Amino acid sequence: MSSGTPVELVEAKLHTVFKIISLYRNYSQAAAAVSNQPHNYGDAVDKKNPSFAKSLYVGNFVHAAFTKNTKEVSLPKLNKLFGICVPKEFGGLELSSASISEAYKRINFADLRENIAHGSIVKCINMIGTDEQKRKILPQLASGECVASFCIYESKHGYDIQNNETKASQKNGKWIINGSKQWVMNGERANMFLVLAKTMDECNRPESELNFFTTFLVKKSQNSGIKITAEGNHYNVTFNNVEADCILGSENEGLNCYTMLFNSDFLESSSATLGEVKNIVQRTSKHFHTHDRSSLIKLGKLNSHLYTMDCVLEFTSQILDTYDPKSDYELILARLFVSETTRSCLNLLNDLGLSKKSFKYIENSLLFEGRSNLLPVVGALLGIQYAGQFMAEDVKQLRNPLMFPKYTLSHIMKIQRSLKNKPKLNHYIEKHLHPSLKKQALDLEYCLSRLQFGVQNMFINLGPDTCYYQMILERANSVAMDLFALAAVLHRVSQKLYNSNTQPYPTELIFANVFCNSIREKCSQSVDEILDAPHNVVDPHYKVIGRNCFLCLTLKFDAGTPHRARAIYHAIRVEKEPNSSVKRICDTADKFLIVKLESEELSSLRASSNGLLDILKILSEVIQKFDLKSSSADYDHF
């Protein structure tokens, strides 16, 4: 029994309550700050049809999206994929998301970029184009008479769209475009371009740090002033006094169109990647050695990876077709999961003796996918923004504990259970799954509860600055991605078991059990790191270790403005290294660009004049190419 008078016991309880209330003051401030963050993707919480993926951040399992049955896909014979997204009234096929995914699984991987660029323009015109533009342009795009591509990025700025230099100005009532675009897909064959250009010059002032853009549709003709040059697998397109055919969307709101383009191809590119990996496995499976235990385990892992990717794309397509056609976060999670799992498949294929030459083109497509570094953070911001909006009601009640004593006390008990890693499980997910999957349903419920607790602690520990902790955001997104994949696997396995008139599928159950065990383990580790954030996260320590392993020369350049510093950072980071012995990395701090030149060959470079000459050549290149002035230099281990 507890010692002390009743008054002392009451005082102790009240002290505990007020301590937790003070914690939740931080939590409420963070939730409010995050929910108010402006974001192109962010919408108010739809309580009638809540987002399946975003709801994972608040521990909710949206059974309305999960219980939809998957329909069998009947795909018509297709020679080209030009019209699969075009509505039927404009001469297209208007296929479902599931059919589009299946079509891209069968596509020749070499034709992927052409079809993705074309399909992205079709989606933009269909969403924000005028009725006249749809009637005039979509039939041509559906038939393949007109092939389209987009001109968005520039070599100096990459994904830093705000600093693009291509401009459009009005002359005699017409829009004239001047500038150059790089990394254009299908540039030589395309006869229509979607161009993002800076407009509204009077508002594009440096002090405002905000530029206005408009998207234009431009048709290519012999005398149009468009010059196209090939550079590897991409093209550079230069516009010299080119007259635009029309504006797509609203004037000075071109960034909305860019947002659509940014995530328009996630389902298609993921499906094509999975289809190509399957083709490689089928072509080379007869050469695999299955006589030893190690090879059998690797083959089992490979087969499991292919199965889970298939489940994720099928589940994502089903949500788009039957629940929420505007699902954005589900597409991001599917793309990230397929990319990450494909890398694991390629490593397994290499371990099984398959030459890297057989899949180098897939590896390169993943390596040079510039969005892969952005998507985890973008996804996590979507999730925590949704959590901040969803938890607004919780915050109101926790701010007034005397008005809502029952809710406050129940919340305190819930926190105590979560701190002990023993969350209360309500057994609500298993109602929507086959009885054979009871254990897996409880594991999914446990992981959901842990993610919710981790997000709450992010708000409490990091406060309104939650949005700026990239490594923590990536961990939260990783847990959400794994839980989304687990839900997809359980959805398919449960349907298979229900539809089976014979004995349960033992292989399906094995897939579900193995994947569920691995996800629970990963979830526990990642959530523990989120709970310890920001002080006990290991990433900064790895950075220190990495720096100490290299011979390092660090220089600080004044780039003029923060925007220019970030643009030069991107240009240096993606540039091919001129010398294999020296590694070039860079970072930014306000308007300064920090360039580091590192080498693992410590002993040889210390004594080698050639090594020092390599470093000096690189420095000269950087200074001349970007017109920089060095303000300081540090020599580490030199």
| Structure-model confidence comparison of residues 636 and 155, the more confident one | 155
| Residues of each domain in the chain carrying CATH 1.10.540.10 | 78-143
Q: How far apart are CA 132 and CA 129, in angstroms?
A: 8
Phi, then psi, of 486 in degrees rounded to 5: -65, -45
**Mind listing the pLDDT tens digit for each residue in 325-364?**
778 899 999 999 999 999 899 888 888 888 777 777 777 7
Q: Are 244 and 219 in contact (CB under 8 A)?
A: no
Question: Which residue ranges does the chain devote to CATH 1.20.140.10?
Answer: 374-536
**Per-residue confidence (pLDDT) for residue 390, from 0 to 100:** 76
Q: Average the pLDDT over 507-534 and give the result.
A: 87
The pLDDT value given to residue 619 = 65
8-state DSSP, 474 = H
d(CA 323, CA 328): 13
- In degrees and rounded to multiples of 5, residue 174 shows phi and psi of -120, 150
Residue 584 corresponds to which tokens in the numbers above?
């070039």
Which pLDDT band holds residue 39 (cuts at 50, 70, 90)? very low
What pairing do the DSSP bridges indicate for beta strands 148-151 and 192-199?
A: parallel
The encoded tokens of residue 106 equal 């069968």
Q: Which residue has the tokens 């708000």?
A: 459
Average confidence score pLDDT of the chain: 78
Q: Indicate the length of the chain as a whole number.
A: 638
Question: Across 217-231, 409-423, 591-605, which has the greatest mean pLDDT?
Answer: 217-231
The pLDDT of 515-538, averaged and rounded, is 84
DSSP sequence for 601-621: -HHHHHH-HHHHHHHHHHHHH
Structure confidence at residue 505 (pLDDT): 63
Q: What is the DSSP letter of 4?
A: S
For tokens 């700025």, the residue is 157
- Provide the CATH topology of domain 374-536: Butyryl-CoA Dehydrogenase, subunit A; domain 3 (1.20.140)
Exposure of 590 by Cβ count < 10 A (0-12 exposed, 13-18 middle, 19+ buried)? exposed
Name the β-bridge partners of 212.
Answer: 199
What phi, psi does 536 have (nearest 5°)?
Answer: -105, 15
| Reported pTM | 0.77
Structure tokens at 94: 């208007």
Least confident window among 211-215, 305-309, 424-428, 491-495: 424-428
Beta pairing, strands 551-558 & 629-636: antiparallel
Q: Indicate the SS3 state at residue 41.
A: coil
Domain 148-254 has CATH 3.40.50.1700: no
Q: What amino acid occupies position 252?
A: N
* First-to-final CA distance of the chain: 66
Cα atoms in the 13 Å half-sphere on the side-chain side of 271: 25
Confidence of residue 121 (pLDDT cuts 50, 70, 90): very high
Residue of 353, 357, 359, 360 lying closest to 295 (CA atoms): 353
Where do you find CATH 2.40.110.10 in the chain? 148-254
Residue range 230-247, pLDDT digits in tens:
887 788 999 999 999 899
Residue pLDDT, tens place only, 267-318:
999 999 999 999 888 887 777 766 778 888 888 899 999 999 999 999 999 9
Phi–psi pair at 167, nearest 5 degrees: -120, 155
Q: Are the beta carbons of 135 and 90 closer than 8 angstroms?
A: yes
Mind listing the pLDDT tens digit for each residue in 62-107?
888 888 777 777 777 777 888 888 999 998 888 999 999 999 998 8
In this structure, the number of other CB atoms found within 10 A of the CB of residue 325 comes to 10
Place of tokens 């999960």: 66
Pair of tokens at residue 355: 């030459």
Q: What is the DSSP letter of 596?
A: E
Which of the 8 DSSP states describes residue 72? P
Domain 78-143, CATH number (from 1.10.540.10, 2.40.50.140, 1.10.1060.10, 3.40.50.720) = 1.10.540.10
**No. of helices (H) and no. of strands (E), the chain:** 20, 12
